[in-house]
């Protein structure tokens, strides 16, 4: 019994055509007014509008993601180059300094032993 009452109430609500209702006396938000406007459009127009808005949003998000990925790639390349520039020459400088100190110590030890 309750299900039939709910079903008939739902069909009565869905049967209300908002195109024929005066909405000027209702306190509707801008979103509610947009929803009513969208709901009164023909199904084909609603589908076309949904696809167009979806495509526009997808394009914008795609462009943002591409910029983020490019930024990440540039950052990774910069980090790798910074690492290579600081480690390879740094290693060479320290290696040369070690060799120089080693030669000085060896020369000093040889002169002390003579």
Give the integer Cα–Cα distance in Å for 78 and 64: 21
* Across 66-95, average pLDDT: 91
pLDDT digit string, tens, across residues 1-52: 555 554 554 454 455 666 666 666 677 888 888 888 888 889 999 999 999 9
pLDDT value of position 57: 97
36 class by beta-carbon count within 10 Å (0-12 exposed, 13-18 middle, 19+ buried) = middle
Give the integer Cα–Cα distance in Å for 4 and 6: 5
Query: Quick one: what percent of the chain has pLDDT higher than 70?
Result: 77
| Radius of gyration of the chain from its Cα atoms, rounded to whole angstroms | 38
Q: CB–CB of 38/46 below 8 Å?
A: yes
**Structure tokens belonging to residue 79:** 């980090």
Report yes or no on whether pTM surpasses 0.75: no
């Amino acid at each position: 019994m309750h299900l039939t009452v709910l079903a008939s109430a739902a069909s009565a609500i869905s049967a209300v055509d908002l195109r024929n209702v005066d909405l000027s006396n209702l306190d509707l938000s801008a979103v509610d007014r947009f929803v009513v406007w969208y709901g009164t459009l023909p199904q084909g127009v609603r589908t076309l509008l949904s696809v167009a808005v979806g495509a526009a949003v997808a394009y914008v998000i795609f462009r943002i993601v591409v910029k983020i990925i490019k930024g990440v790639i540039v950052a990774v390349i910069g980090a790798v180059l910074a690492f290579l520039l600081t480690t390879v020459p740094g290693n060479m400088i320290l290696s040369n300094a070690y060799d120089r100190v080693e030669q000085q110590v060896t020369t000093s030890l040889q002169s002390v032993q003579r």
